[in-house]
């Protein structure tokens, strides 16, 4: 009878040890995933242009012209295509002392078909284009100047 009791006790302790191990494993996996995905969970869902008190903006759309001669008057040499192009020249407007003024200018430019980006913070800047080629950036700056906007090229 004594061997039977020892065997039952050993079996019970083995089952308890297994349950403790499984509980420890579950807690460890939870801690690991919690640590790994902490930044992902806390990431802000808003775009850099919007703040919490603004309405959600619709995504920008851009329609390509249907004629083939759109780029015929550009006098620059074609850019060589690299594996990755480095954006060095940004065409911007501003600085605007109030964000509302920058958003109004951005909306006006967006209505004219330009892709825009409004910086955060004050003073605000409206970025209209980013280029690897300074000739293309200068072309856009002149085009905006002809439409009454005072643009400048920020070189990075």
What is residue 47's predicted lDDT score, i.e. its pLDDT? 47
Own/partner contacts of 59-66, CB < 8 Å, gap of 24 or more, are 60/110, 60/115, 60/116, 62/113, 62/115, 63/113
Are residues 133 and 155 in contact, defined by beta-carbon separation less than 8 angstroms?
Answer: no
- pLDDT at position 52 is 54
Distance, in Å, from the CA atom of 140 to the CA atom of 151, rounded to the nearest integer, reads 9
Q: What is the pLDDT along the chain (156 residues), one digit of tens a residue?
A: 688 888 889 999 999 999 999 999 999 998 888 877 776 656 555 445 555 555 665 666 666 666 666 555 555 555 555 556 678 899 999 899 998 999 999 999 999 999 998 988 888 999 998 888 899 999 999 999 999 999 999 988
Q: What is the CATH number of domain 89-155?
A: 3.30.70.1070
The predicted model scores a pTM of: 0.46
């Amino acid at each position: 009878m004594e061997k039977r009791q020892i065997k039952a006790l050993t079996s019970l302790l083995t089952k308890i040890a297994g349950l403790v191990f499984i509980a420890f494993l579950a807690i460890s996996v939870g801690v690991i995933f919690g640590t790994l995905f902490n930044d992902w969970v806390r990431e802000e869902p808003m775009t850099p242009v919007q703040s919490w008190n603004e309405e959600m903006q619709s995504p920008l759309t851009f329609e390509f012209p249907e004629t083939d001669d759109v780029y015929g008057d550009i006098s620059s040499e074609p850019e060589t295509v690299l594996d990755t192009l480095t954006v060095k020249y940004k065409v911007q407007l501003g600085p605007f002392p109030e964000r509302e003024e920058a958003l109004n200018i951005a909306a006006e430019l967006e209505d004219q078909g330009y892709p825009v980006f409004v910086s955060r913070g004050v003073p605000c800047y409206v970025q209209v284009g980013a280029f690897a080629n300074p000739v293309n950036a200068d072309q856009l700056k002149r085009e905006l100047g002809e439409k009454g906007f005072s643009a400048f090229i920020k070189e990075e």
